[in-house]
Amino acid sequence: MHSLTDVEVQALTLRAEDIRESVIKMLVEAGSGHTAGSLGMADIFTALYFRIINHNPRHPEWVQRDRVILSNGHIAPILYATMAHAGYFSISELKTLRKFGSRLQGHPHKGTLPGIETSSGPLGSGLSQAIGMALMDRLENHRPERYFYCCMGDGEINEGQVWESFLLLNKYKLSKVISIIDRNTIQIDGYTEDVLPLESLKDKLESFNFHVVEIDGHNFKDIVQAVGMAKSTLDRPTVIIAHTIPGKGVTAFEGDYRWHGKAPSIEEGKSALKELRSLRGKVKYGEL
């Protein structure tokens, strides 16, 4: 995987802005849901689905696909929006988020929406599932070549099951498992270091003998390069600590833990969209 050209970065940036717009619209329409983490992970999900992973949106069950396991299921809006933009289903279906009869359940459900690898919501379970999949992949001698991306929140690491999984990940040295921790420093009750301190997170992870990479989770070159380094590390698993800004892209939401678990009102949504669109040069910020 060569590093990104500026033109490619520009294309991904615009794509991510479109996806953020969808996230805002679907959350406003739903009237509830998780705003901060969904916007904060927009760049990473865009990079995964539009640059990094091997997949086929028209055949979600394609056996050769890389698996993206969303462990912190509450940021489902970013997963759904990215999948819709990638062609798994129509963008208009995003409006059904959290509504009765929708395939877009409040938290993802495997089986309802093709392309969802697992049900999640209760925190801490994704990494163990990625390990299970990667172990079976190893039984099949890694043919065809597949990678297992596990996206987790930082608050999620409070869960004991995650640490059980770290022990097992080290035991089995599954280099095909690439964990991405959204280090946005917030959780529902406040900042992670106030609620239950995680630092020094990198030291903790390195003590498990993982290959740990810290990146700016909004820098596409960083994201793609980190995954490239993970793929070229063959003797141990990689954990990417992605520093992100919760609510990224909307000044009113950025860095404020109170936006973890609520959706914008119609007014807040309008001004958020205005700000996002200004980035595309369609309208100037503050106008309209």
C-alpha to C-alpha distances, 202 to 89, 211, 228, 242, 267, nearest whole angstrom:
37, 10, 19, 11, 40
CB of 167 to another protein, least distance (A): 7
CB of 136 to another protein, least distance (A): 4
CB of 83 to another protein, least distance (A): 18
Q: Which is nearer to another protein, 110 or 282 (CB)?
A: 110
Q: What residue ranges bind another protein (CB under 8 A)?
A: 69, 109-111, 117-122, 124-137, 139, 160-161, 164-165, 167-168, 171
CB of 75 to another protein, least distance (A): 16
Q: Which is nearer to another protein, 172 or 191 (CB)?
A: 172
Q: What are phi and psi of 102, to 5 degrees?
A: -80, 150
Q: Which is nearer to another protein, 43 or 137 (CB)?
A: 137
Q: Which is nearer to another protein, 75 or 133 (CB)?
A: 133
Q: Which is nearer to another protein, 167 or 188 (CB)?
A: 167
CB of 131 to another protein, least distance (A): 5
Q: Which is nearer to another protein, 10 or 112 (CB)?
A: 112
CB of 102 to another protein, least distance (A): 16
